[in-house]
Structure 1
Amino acid sequence: MAANGGEDILKRTYSLYEPKLLEGAYIPQIAAYYYKQWDGFEMKFHRHNRVEVMYVISGTCRVDTESQSIRMKKGDFILIDADVTHKLHVDKGSPCRMLNVEFHFAEEDSAAPSMKGMAEGNQAVARLLALKVPYVLLRENGDIYPTLKNLIHEMDAKTSDNQLMISLLLSQLIIRIATLAVEVTANEAYESNEYVSTLIRYIHQNYDRDIQVKDMAGSVNLHPGYVHRIFKACTGRTITEFLTSYRIEKAQMLLTHTDIPVVEIPDYVGINSSQYFSTLFKKITGRTPQEFRSPR
């Protein structure tokens, strides 16, 4: 069922991460909501200028974006930002019942909580608005579905004096989702850090061999593409940059504290070309390997 709201309100909608939300009195407003059970359904890819919450009441489904496929089951829900291309898929014979809520933002003078006010008064909302991700997949914690049902009940009541209650319930929903989202991303960051620590140990123990990203990804049972992303996010460097830097660091140690011939140093640090080693060494240190050793 569609909520009240004119075309000019729709023209003033923003992404959840639109900076203007933190500059003015932008009030979240329900644009549409509905219950629906699907069985053997394939939605076309689409996008809209509203933030969407898709909650799985029963069964299983899959939500696809242009780059990801997200499996969902009972109690899972996903927050999808405005203008993110997505579609829903439900297998035949495995019905999925969902509750969908879509909301946008309108700048107006109102007693209802604004996004700016919520961000200033709740750290989780502020952090949610800074995530800048196309979607967040979350799991019911006992608060989300009751809030959704209360919100829909007020929307269906169609009374003239319950608009503030609707705004308060929508604000409550956003705060509860933000709290869960922050917890999930914090846990993911912790897990990523654990994986990155393992990857760094792998590099420390194997830098002298011809290792590749797929070897490192295999050591933590992750896809190489995902390993690239979490390593760069946690260290600020790609795996290749980190490995190269560590190899040159070890080469400097060998040049300074051993009598190993310069021509053999590349083999000790896992680089199979003397010319390439010299090029990397000078690029990082500003000196050739011979120049680096000459002060000894």
Structure 2
Amino acid sequence: MDSRLYYEPLANGVERAPTALQMFHTTPRIMRVAHWHAQVEVNYIVRGWAHYRMAGHDVRFSAGDFALFWGGQPHRLDDISDDLVYAGGHLPLVHFFRLRLPAGVQSRLMQGATLVSSATDAADPVNFLRWVEYARSGDAMKASLAVDELLLRIERLHFSPYRLLPETAAVQDEGGLDPHISPIVVRICDYIAANFREEIDSIDIAVAAGIHPKYAMTVFRKCTGMTLNDYINLMRLSYAQAMLMKDGASVLAVAMESGFGSLSAFNKSFRRIAGMSPSDFRRDVRSRPAVAAMATLDRAIAP
């Protein structure tokens, strides 16, 4: 019998909270099926190793590795060492586009690349543990400091060797992110985050961002590689995925609650990202083997 623990999302899990910044320091569970979420994921391997199946490539992170990847691409943690402990966070795009990263990195990540750096040091596991504690402290200033310090740590990648996997992927936007564009993308992401379950379009988004609709579409696609509609649908699908994994609601109720105007639109969008229908996805998730013992899903572990 398979005695491994399998991932089960919490009611406020990363899929169901696509606008939230969540931080973790934990021993994760492997995933029965791929999942996705509308944040950039940051992983630091404190101990052991983790193997991911990304969209188009596999990657193994080992102790001391620091990694970033776009969670909007379906990915699956499919194997881990018995002693794995990893730390990190899920960065909504409003934070991701505050980052000053090397030229081309942001666009590569949004296209599905994985950034991996082994240039870490003894301060990293200590810092990640503190950031988790600050983020969960209930103190707004501590939470803000945790976010700012994490972003600064990511920006230090400017000064360290790193790899972008797969190495053969094309790089666009070689000039890096225009500092005048970044605040616009942040405003767009803020508005979509607050309204993605409602009926919104490019005009609503442009008015909220204070720009022309055509410019809003151009800027957003340049920075993310996605159209505005693609991103809105991703937010909705992330939320719907969590409902399918956890709740007993009908597929129709999930479609409506997630912001899709019809069941047919929901099925079409879901099949495009998951490669299966919402009903098949729910069945596959629920077919995971039972386990005799349940470990704490997310706990602070001293390095």
Q: Which TM-score bucket, shorter chain as reference?
A: 0.3 to 0.5
Say which structure, 1 or 2, has more relative contact order (CA 8 Å, 6+ apart): 2
Q: Which of the two has higher C-alpha Rg?
A: 1
Which protein is richer in helix relative to its size?
Answer: 1
Q: TM-score, normalised by structure 1?
A: 0.36
